[in-house]
């Protein structure tokens, strides 16, 4: 399975963009379960997304962050910590 992750936003329209990306990804890979999740703002959370994939019987999960910078604190520290806690 694949979990696409972003920061999340108070603006639902912004959160919907990640879901649209997950939907497009799902269309290109119909045999893989693709979900979207948000780190701090919005639902589902990264923890909830990981839990959902595990509940669906997914053994291998690719966690793909969608952030402007792959060098920032969220990508390097916060997301690995959240994944480890799940």
* Extents of the domains making up the chain: 2-85
pLDDT over 90 at 73, yes or no:
no
Domain 2-85 has CATH 3.40.50.1400: yes
Give the pLDDT of residue 66: 84
Residues whose CB falls within 8 Å of the CB of residue 52, separated by 6 or more in sequence, listed in order: 35, 44
pLDDT score of 71:
66
Span 4-59, pLDDT tens digits:
999 888 888 888 999 999 999 999 999 999 999 998 888 999 999 999 999 999 99
What's this model's pTM, rounded to 2 decimal places? 0.82
User: In what order do the strands lie in the sheet containing 62-65?
Assistant: 34-38, 2-6, 62-65
Strand partners, 62: 2
> What per-residue confidence (pLDDT) applies to 20?
95
């Amino acid at each position: 399975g694949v979990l696409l992750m972003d920061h999340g936003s108070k603006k639902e329209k912004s959160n919907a963009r990640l879901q649209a990306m997950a939907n497009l990804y799902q269309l290109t890979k119909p045999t893989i379960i693709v979900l979207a999740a948000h780190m701090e703002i919005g639902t589902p959370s990264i923890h909830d997304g990981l839990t959902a994939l595990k509940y669906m019987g997914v053994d291998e999960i690719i966690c793909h962050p969608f952030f402007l910078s792959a060098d920032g604190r969220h990508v390097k520290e916060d997301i690995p910590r959240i994944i480890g806690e799940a």
